[in-house]
Amino acid sequence: MAAPAAVQEVLPPYLDSTSEQPPLFDGTTRLYTSGKCPYAQRVWIVRNYKGLQDEIKLVPIDLQNRPAWYKEKVYPQNKVPALEHNGKVIGESLDLVKYIDANFKGPSLFPDDPAKQKFAEELIAYSDDTFLKNVVSSFKGDTIKQAGAEFDYLENALQKFDDGPFFLGQFSLVDAVYVPFIERFQIFLQEVWSYDITSGRPKLAAWVEEINKLDAYKPTKCDPEQIVPQYKTRFLA
Ligand SMILES: N[C@@H](CCC(=O)N[C@@H](CS)C(=O)NCC(=O)O)C(=O)O
């Protein structure tokens, strides 16, 4: 039987240059976001996993036609994600996932075990500075060799703790940090190079299978129909 289609969370309407600004610092916690942004997706998954759908309101921003007030009044960096909480606005997805985990209710996504904490920090630091950069630069290089080395790194990392299928055994911030990019790279490498990132990597194959079962993740998944043309234009043109 075919896998059921992912259930997309119905996002509120995107705010664009014609939209009025929602009242700032009125006590509502807002996640300025975009359904297409992998960085914002990290934070969205954490919000869902912790059961914060009612506490953290999603405010999608049209990145192609951004409202002027967003940069001027909300987040001068003019990017998503950004979180409005307790009279301030903070950004950067890697900081935000930790902030939400530490400052809101719900299951902790950062382990107590010092060995797991150390490994979590290592993997999180590796995500944007190395993994992401190397896979993206592989698209214009020796793709399978260069990208393959990064998926070998993940396969290896997944062998470290055996008390569950995720990077630290149980689902954690590390999985939320990596999944938006693994998801996109899996689609793109398969489509353009017929390269299956899970082939010969049983731990990664199991990780993909398990993460796809998570209700916190399912509604956040990207649309493969959009990713392929978008990545072709961005990385191969
Ligand atoms: N380092 C940032 C990156 C965020 C980012 O680049 N977001 C993109 C959308 S996916 C964005 O807002 N781009 C608009 C711009 O750069 O002007 C993070 O981790 O949050």
Rounded to whole angstroms, how far apart are CA atoms 33 and 82? 7
Q: What is the mean pLDDT of residues 132-154?
A: 98
ipTM of this complex: 0.99
Q: To the nearest whole number, what is the mean pLDDT of the chain?
A: 96
201 Cα: distance to centroid of ligand 1 (angstroms) = 30
Q: Say what the pLDDT of residue 1 is.
A: 42
Q: Say what the pLDDT of residue 2 is.
A: 46
Provide φ and ψ at 27, rounded to 5°.
100, -15
Given a contact cutoff of 8 angstroms between Cβ atoms, the answer to whether 50 and 101 are in contact is yes
pTM for this predicted structure: 0.96
Report the pocket of ligand 1 as residue ranges, CB < 6 Å: 37, 39, 63, 78-81, 91-94
DSSP secondary structure letters along 124-150: HHHIIIIIIHHHHHHTTSSHHHHHHHH
For ligand 1, what atom is nearest to the CA of residue 94? 19
Residue 4 in this model has a pLDDT that exceeds 60: no
Provide φ and ψ at 85, rounded to 5°.
-155, 135
Mutation probe of ligand 1 site: the residue of 42, 43, 79 with most atoms within 8 A of C-beta: 79
Q: What is the mean pLDDT of residues 14-32?
A: 98
Residue 3 in this model has a pLDDT that exceeds 90: no
Using one digit for the tens of pLDDT, what is the confidence trace for 147-169? 999 999 999 999 999 999 999 99
Using one digit for the tens of pLDDT, what is the confidence trace for 188-219? 999 999 999 999 999 999 999 999 999 999 99
